[in-house]
Each structure stands twice: as C-alpha cells, then as structure tokens.
Homo-oligomer: A and B are copies of this chain.
C-alpha cells in the first residue's frame, strides 16, 4: 500500500481487456432517446483525492447519467433535512427490480431506499418542499461539483422519458395514495425526469463524486456538502442499494460503493483515495453496464484496492 499503483497503466490494460465485451449486452431501449446510443462506446476516468485524473477511451463523451443522478438529489436532500429524510424512505436493499411496486404496497408506501425509483421520487418531493427552483438548483449543484458549466439537461431525453413514463407515474400516484408525496405529481415527475436526463462525461462524474471520497467536502471550494458521518453513510447506502438488485454481486466482485444508471454509466468510490466513473451502454440483465462492471472488477483486482 506504500507505493501508489500506476493508475494510467492499469486503466490502459483494463481498456484492452474489456474491449471484446464492449458492445455485448443490451442497450436500454425503454425510451427511444436511449436506444439510439451507439453500443460500442467505452470510457473510464479515475480521479484521486489529490486531484490527479487518469482517463481512457471515451471518457470525455457525454451520456445520459440516469439513476446516477439520484445520488446528487439524495445529497441535496440530506443536506437540507439530515436524517429526518429517513422517516419517508428506508435504507434497505430492495431485493427486487428498481421500478417494482410490490414492496411499496406491502410496506405502506415507504420505499425501501432512496436509490430505487420510488425512493428517488420521494427525494425529489423533499427538494420541491425546500427549493423554489429545484430543477435549476440541481443543475447548479452538479455544475459546481464538477466545475463545468457544460453539464445540461438533455431535452430530447426529457421528452422521451415523459412520453414513456407510465411506470414512474404509477409509482408517483401510488406514493401519493399513501400520503408520501407533498407536491403535485406533475412537479415531482418533472424534477425526476430532468435529473435523470442529465448528460455528463466520465471525467465530470469522477469529479462530481469526489466529495464522497473525501468525507463530504466539496473538492472545488472545500464546502462541507455533507458531514463526514453522513458522507460515510451515503457510501454505505451506495454499497447496499446502489446497483439495483445486484448489490450483493457488485460488492462481491467490485468491492466498492457505487451507483449505476441504465445509460450504461457507473460511478464508484474508494473513500480517502479516489473516485472512478466508467461508461459503456451494453447492460446486463439487472440493468448495470456489462463492460463497466467488468472494468471496475479488474480495477480493484489490479490495484488491490477496495473497501474490504
């Protein structure tokens, strides 16, 4: 552990090794805007807490971060409400699909955790209760985190999500029927659809998640976004709930807290060391990037670094 691994060399090796898997899996096509993304992309960016960045492949190409964005809204809501938030949403792995309504019914409208769709809707609702222009503030928050004004809501994805968003509308009405949404369904879905439509690059994501590697402190301005304790606890949530119903397998193979999105992105954190973002659109049956998960497994194996 004394000498730092040669991250650039390791990323280059990983790139070579996963290339045969890039293009495998299934590109998310539940909305047309995602289905059009070329399957052959692969990018990866690792940024250390010292501020060094290492990249490979399409690390600077933007993609739809989708559910990864739930970590940003969760962070904002925790900043605003602290642990009060957990009166409305649990923190246990769901053991079922990310958009399942089943547990919601048997558990009286309290979503299992803030990283499944139902939970993220509750988080969005919490933001709307506190912020005048929640949509604008989420965008501003993410831009500051990665020090880039280029981050935008992808309006084509927004339109596509809205047109095909019946499952999420069902979840929102269901939550409302249990009294677990305060704002209008319209505004909750609008905020949710927007933050899921954020377009970012691996480099931007690796920077934006840096605060989770450094005890909640923003890398750009040293502001404490979360207390050290809440930052650790957010990492714990990522580990147990961040990758849909593959939490066990991801922890087993990769050994890092992480969050994936159906756009093919995954971000993972090694506390006190670094943060990594990987992107490849082909998904495994659980909805996680196939080549991306493999790349992260190789990263922790080659560097010998993980939380375990």
| Complex interface bits, A226-238 against B, C-beta within 8 A gives 1, otherwise 0 | 0011001101110
Give the nearest-CB partner of A86 in chain B: B252
User: Are A233's CB and B308's CB within 8 A?
Assistant: yes
Taking the complex as formed, is A260 at the interface, i.e. its CB lies under 8 A from any CB of chain B? no
User: Are A240's CB and B236's CB within 8 A?
Assistant: no
User: Are B177's CB and A91's CB within 8 A?
Assistant: no
User: Are B174's CB and A91's CB within 8 A?
Assistant: no
Of A101, A112, A170, chain B has the most CB atoms within 10 Å of the CB of A170
A108 partner residues in chain B, CB cutoff 8 A: none
State which of B171, B229, B301 has its C-beta within 8 Å of the C-beta of A301: B229
**Interface stretch among A58-66, A241-249, A288-296?**
A241-249
| Complex interface bits, A272-308 against B, C-beta within 8 A gives 1, otherwise 0 | 0000000000000000000000000000010010111
- Which applies to chain A's interface (DSSP): helix, strand, loop or mixed? helix
User: Are B307's CB and A308's CB within 8 A?
Assistant: yes
Taking the complex as formed, is A93 at the interface, i.e. its CB lies under 8 A from any CB of chain B? yes
Give the nearest-CB partner of A246 in chain B: B92
Taking the complex as formed, is A94 at the interface, i.e. its CB lies under 8 A from any CB of chain B? yes
Quickly give the copy total for this chain. 4
Give the nearest-CB partner of A251 in chain B: B236
User: Are A93's CB and B257's CB within 8 A?
Assistant: no
User: Are B252's CB and A233's CB within 8 A?
Assistant: yes
Taking the complex as formed, is A166 at the interface, i.e. its CB lies under 8 A from any CB of chain B? yes
Categorize the interface residue count of chain A. Answer: 35 or more
Taking the complex as formed, is A5 at the interface, i.e. its CB lies under 8 A from any CB of chain B? no
Taking the complex as formed, is A57 at the interface, i.e. its CB lies under 8 A from any CB of chain B? no
State which of B101, B166, B239 has its C-beta within 8 Å of the C-beta of A240: B239
User: Are A173's CB and B169's CB within 8 A?
Assistant: yes
Give the nearest-CB partner of A248 in chain B: B92
Whether A233 touches B255, Cβ cut-off 8 Å, given contacts A166-B174, A166-B176, A169-B173, is yes
User: Are B91's CB and A252's CB within 8 A?
Assistant: yes
A21 partner residues in chain B, CB cutoff 8 A: none
Q: Which A residues lie at the B interface, using CB under 8 A?
A: 90-96, 100-103, 105-106, 112-113, 166-167, 169-174, 176-177, 185, 228-229, 232-233, 235-237, 239-241, 245-249, 251-253, 255, 257, 271, 301, 304, 306-308
A–B complex contacts, Cβ < 8 Å, 28 sampled: A90-B248, A91-B252, A92-B93, A92-B245, A95-B95, A95-B96, A95-B112, A100-B105, A102-B102, A102-B106, A169-B169, A169-B170, A170-B177, A232-B306, A233-B255, A235-B308, A236-B248, A236-B251, A236-B252, A236-B308, A237-B252, A239-B239, A239-B251, A240-B247, A241-B248, A271-B308, A307-B307, A307-B308
